[in-house]
Every structure is written in structure tokens, then in C-alpha cells.
Structure 1
Amino acid sequence: MAADRQPKEQRVEAVERALTLLEAFADGADRLSLAELAKQTGYYRSTILRLAASLQRMGYLHRDADGCYRLGPTLWRLGSQYQRAFRLADYIRPALVEISGETGESAAFYVREGDQRVVLYRVNSDRPTRHHIEEGSALPLDRGAGGRILTVHTSGDDEHADQIRAQGFYVSDGERSPEAGAVAVPVFGMNGEFIGALGVVGPRHRMGADNHRAIADLLLRHAEKIGAQLGGR
């Protein structure tokens, strides 16, 4: 019967294509040429030009004098509103500063967005040799300590899920980047709701096995404190 049928998913192709164009910057690229956008999206250059023109008018893209594109101020404004609405920054940022200060490495907080993890907040180490990524960068979900934590506490689709949940943290050694090692733990809020992943990442030669437990314990203490501040127990 017609009443039993599920409604079809409503989609607007032009909107999805425009958003795909913006997603081309998700890996942290500051500027992309028309050719680079075409390669990443698979769209014809003529299509990109039409989409980009609309995005420029709305402030989502900006085209420099040399023809390269970069993200526009509207995204910065919306991103700022998103972070304010979350109100996690008041609790997460101070923790990241302390964690980075104690370990000497970069500290970050990740959330899951679809099949990626997003660096929502980050404090980069001030050491000359460090692992550096900007806030807002999108990274793979299936590799790295933060990605593993997000996966097992959302979809659970990970062969090591039971072990990760049992030990309460995950250590990666060159999983996403061959030069980096990381440790991450889950953060829970009110009613045990999973909020995101808290992690430390640094060069592999400084993230050896002898440091893993100490870093994990530090992260777990901060995760528990953040959880309590968010209304958890």
C-alpha cells in the first residue's frame, strides 16, 4: 500500500554539487586552482565556474587575482557560530592547553562528521619538530587513534572495538601518518552520551611505548573532568 511506503529522500543536485566543491578544501588546503578542484570533484570546469560564482556571491568562496579559490568569510562566520553553540570550547580548550603543556606534544579534540573525523579544537605544540594540523581539518575515520575512538563509540565497526572499549584508550603508531604516533580517549557527557575523542599526537620518536600509558592516564583524567563539567558522572 502507498501508505506503507517510505518517502523518497529529497535531494537537490545543485546544492550537493556546491557543497562537494567546498568539501574539496576539507583536507586543509588553503587555496585550490580550477584544475585542482576539477581533479578532486570530478566536475567539468564549466560546472565548477557556475557553482563557484554562486558561492562567491554568498561569501562561501573567494577567488584571488590569480584565479585560485579559497574559502570565504561566510564559512568562518558560520563556523564561529557553530563553535559558540556547542559551548564545548570553554571546557575543551583549557584541557588541551594543559595536555599540550604537560606532554610537549600537540593535543586535539575530534568529532565525527559522516565518514570523517573533524579536528574541532587543537593546540599545536610549540616545539621545533612537531605534528601540526589546523582546526577544522577533516581526517580519515578508519586510521589514527582519534578515528578509532570515534568509530568504536559511534558505529562500532572496528575489529578491535571490544578491546578498545575495555582498555579505555587507543594507541596508533604511524597509522595515518608514517611519521606520527598518537593516543586518544573517549569523552562522555550527560547521561553517558559520547561527545568526542581527546588525543595527543607527536613525532613517532617521542611517542614511544614507554610514554603511552602515562599519556593515556593524563588524557583519561582530563576526559573525566570534562565529562563532569558537561553534566556527566
Structure 2
Amino acid sequence: MTPSNEPEGGGSQTLERGLAILIELSRHSEGLNTSQVAAATGFHRSIAHRLLVSLHRTGFAARDDDGRYVVGPTVAGLLGDAGPSLRTIAEPVLQRLAQKLDATASLVEAIGTAAVTTVVAEPPTDGPLFWYRRGSRDPLDHGSGGLACLAAGPARLRAGARTGDP
């Protein structure tokens, strides 16, 4: 044990930098791009980029189509008793829905640029089965789950569209 008046030895500079980036992302709900993260933390842009890629890959950061990063869904999982998760609430609802409709019901969440199936409820009989497995990942812009996630999210301008166009 190190006395409180002596500096800590060891540690991981990379971990400390990654945590600093997470803290900075938590302060900006609108998200930050790589250059903004680098400026806010004082890290070189290449260091910020590498750390953001790792944070995104592990779900600690999410990235939108404009390249802005926000705190990702993995962080919520670390909070534990902060309240019931969406999955916990959705599971019994999806079970009832699958039973009532006699069809597969699933929860698909947007995690970064992927649509990830997180809960699956199958019908009690031989009703329509959709072979979604928990953990299935598809690009957000492909397939019904991803498109539903996009439709439920904030409005986005199409690439090349002008403001005011339908």
C-alpha cells in the first residue's frame, strides 16, 4: 500500500486516457468528433482516434453517421442497480406479444452503426418464426430491425439533400 503523500507508481496511461475521453464524452450529449475530443483532452488527434475506435468497438462509445461520438450502451450496463434495463422491461412484453400474435417478437437496439438483436421471444406454437438470435448484428441501414431503429430515432438529412426538400 502506498502512503497518501507519495505518488502512485505504475498504472496504465492508455486506460487513464480512455477514461478521460469517456468523461469528456459524458459532458457533451450532442457528441464530439475526433478533433473535438483531441482538443478537449489535450491528446494528439491520432491518440484520440485510436482510443475512440477501441471505445466504439467495445460499446463504451457510439458513433453516428456524422462521425460524432457519445457515451455508448456498455456504460449503462456498468451502472447495475441504476434501474431496470430496457431488455428487462421488454422481455415480458415481447413474450406476451409473441403469444398473442403467435409469431416471433424481438428487440433490436441501435448500437453504434449496427442493429443488434438483444431479446427474442418465440411463439408458443408453430406460428411464423423469424430466426433472429440474440446478439445478431446487421448494419443499421439493412434489414427491418435496423431500419426500424433508424425510423424511431431523430430525423436525418439524406446525403445530398437540401434543407426543405421532402
TM above 0.5, yes or no, is no
TM-score of the two chains, using structure 1 as the length reference:
0.32
- Structure (1 or 2) with the greater helix fraction: 1
TM-score of the two chains, using structure 2 as the length reference:
0.43
- Structure (1 or 2) with the greater strand fraction: 1
